[in-house]
Structure 1
Amino acid sequence: MHPIRFEAVPRHGIHIFHYLPGDDIPVSRHWPGLFGEWPQRQTPFSEWAVNNNNMEEVAVYVGLIWRLTDGLARYAIPRYYRDDATQTLGREPIMVDWEYDVDAEQLTPLSRDNGFVPGRSALTICPQPTAWEVENASRAGLFPLATLRDLVSALHAVLFDASSEMTVFAIPPGAERLERLTAALRGPVRPALGDVLEDDGIFLDLTIGSDLGNYDSIIVASSTDLLSPLTNLAADCAQRVESYEQRLDELRSVPDFLRAMPQLAGVDLDAS
């Protein structure tokens, strides 16, 4: 087990925290069954986006994000794979012009964080993209997330490149606040993080490195100082990881593994 530590990197009056573990991902002992045969249904990947490359740490990450944003309405931009996320989530996105960019190959917070960049969406080669897909290739998609399962489903859309990225915006519920978030992510002018957050939002970016030389990170930003809840949540995550690693020998099957994941994540998949 490696502790989760966030580094404060304040910028322009915004409280920003970076978690950048490098090779010291939070779970250091892994279930051997991740490298074995899985049943056709309800696998570690289908349920938690966990595989034998991006392993149990993914459950820790999504659990931390979901618990930190408890009580808020959550919206996600799956970077680059907007149309794939439409399929995995089964819903249409709100179209926006900007998305966040993190360089997974870099090893310091400042060198990784590129801020908002113009949106992009992948175009298929075969079959030929539709006219609508071509017209909207320079736009990102903002998807509402009702449950943690939705966040995992959105991860399914992006988690097959050298690195993958998901940005989550957590805001007070309500149509008016959503309209302001959407407006901040549209238009020709690059958004400022403070304008997107206002005084009541939380921004989170989850980047997962899959290929060698690509590294995981979590960025948390808010107008209010989240150091105390982040510290408490990170400590709870560490306790859950330690408990999970101590119980690894008890996990005999995929169903056993899946029953252990909510305890590791600190939240059920269907939690709102």
Structure 2
Amino acid sequence: MPGPRWPGLWEQDYADDADLNPWSRYAINNDDGEALAVWRALTWELTAGRSRFAIPAYYRDEAARLRSMSREAVRLVRWEYEVDVEQHEWPIADVGFVPARACVPLPPALDPWQREHVGFAGLFDVASFRHLTDLALAVAGDATSEITVFALEDPDRCRLLASTLNQAHPPDLAEILQPGDIFVDLAVVHDLGAGAASYLTVKTLEAADEVGQLAEHFSEAFRHYAGRASQIRTFDEFNSAIDDLLAYPRASCPVDDDS
């Protein structure tokens, strides 16, 4: 994963204003840099026109807090997807569905609700790019993180998705996806030493030429941004450059809208 490109990410003090702070606004810092935000933009554009639902691995309650939701309001599921970043080849790394788990305090701070729901992940509606960024902020504190996105053409199938993820035996992705649906998993290494690899996984029931087209667009956009990053002087200039980097030309509105 490319490291930070703008020198200001480690040379300048981050603003308290969330709109100026690159971490609060984009989940970009001087460790992961800008590339992970590009992965999220690719994910967002790839799933456009569908209803998106996502599981932020492990940090269910932190994701709820960042979304200003009570923990009781979160849709809970027993299974979550796993791509093992410590495996060097993707076919082996692609583990599939595993029992869900959530981060909770150690006893005796553990309360009865946490004790009862420690084996559940949260399935969150993702109605805007801002929501996807909030999930990234929720899971970014560990050496690795993972967000799984189910993009469904029929929004009424959300209940069926939740039901399938709550069944007694591990789901099969083929049980969930229908023609037109897209599955995306972002398994990311933040700080795990040599040998681990970040994976962006896309699965559909149909050939998706748009994957390659979007990947090439964002790769070229990143190369263009990286070539001029050293010329950026202020956080205002940085925000403008990142907005350009994350936007896709077909969109008629900013990337953080609901399109």
* TM-score over 0.5 (shorter chain): yes
Give the fraction of aligned pairs with identical amino acids, expressed as a percent. Answer: 33
Unaligned runs of 5+ in 2: 249-253
Q: Does 1:116 align with 2:92?
A: no
**Does residue 184 in structure 1 map to residue 160 in structure 2?**
no
Find the aligned partners of 1:124 and 1:151 in 2 and give their Cα distance: 25
Q: What are the equivalent positions in structure 2 for 1:1-272 lying under 5 Å apart?
A: 25=1, 27=2, 30-36=5-11, 37-42=13-18, 43-91=21-69, 92-125=73-106, 128-175=109-156, 177-211=157-191, 212-213=193-194, 214-226=196-208, 228-266=209-247, 268-272=254-258
Name the residue aligned to 1:9. Answer: none
2:165 maps to amino acid: L
Q: TM-score, normalised by structure 2?
A: 0.90
The structure with higher relative contact order (CA 8 Å, sep 6+) is: 1
Instruction: Say whether the 8 Å CA contact 2:47–2:151 is kept in structure 1.
Output: yes
1:29–1:245 contact (8 Å) kept in structure 2: no
Given the superposition, is the C-alpha separation of residues 128 and 160 from structure 1 closer, same or farther in structure 2, using an over 3 Å criterion?
A: same
Instruction: Measure the CA separation in 1 of the matches of 2:189 and 2:10.
Output: 19
Asked if the contact 1:164–1:209 (Cα under 8 Å) also holds between the matched residues in 2, the reply is yes
2: CA distance, partners of 1:83 / 1:63 = 24
How far did 1:28 drift?
Answer: 6.1
Is this contact kept in 1: 2:78–2:165, CA < 8 A? yes
TM-score, length-normalised on structure 1? 0.86
Q: Which amino acid aligns with 1:38?
A: Y
* Residue ranges of structure 1 left out of the alignment (5+ in a row): 1-24
Runs of 4+ in structure 1 displaced over 3 angstroms?
A: none
* Deviation (angstroms), 1:182: 1.2
Aligned-partner Cα distance in 2 for 1:52–1:215: 19
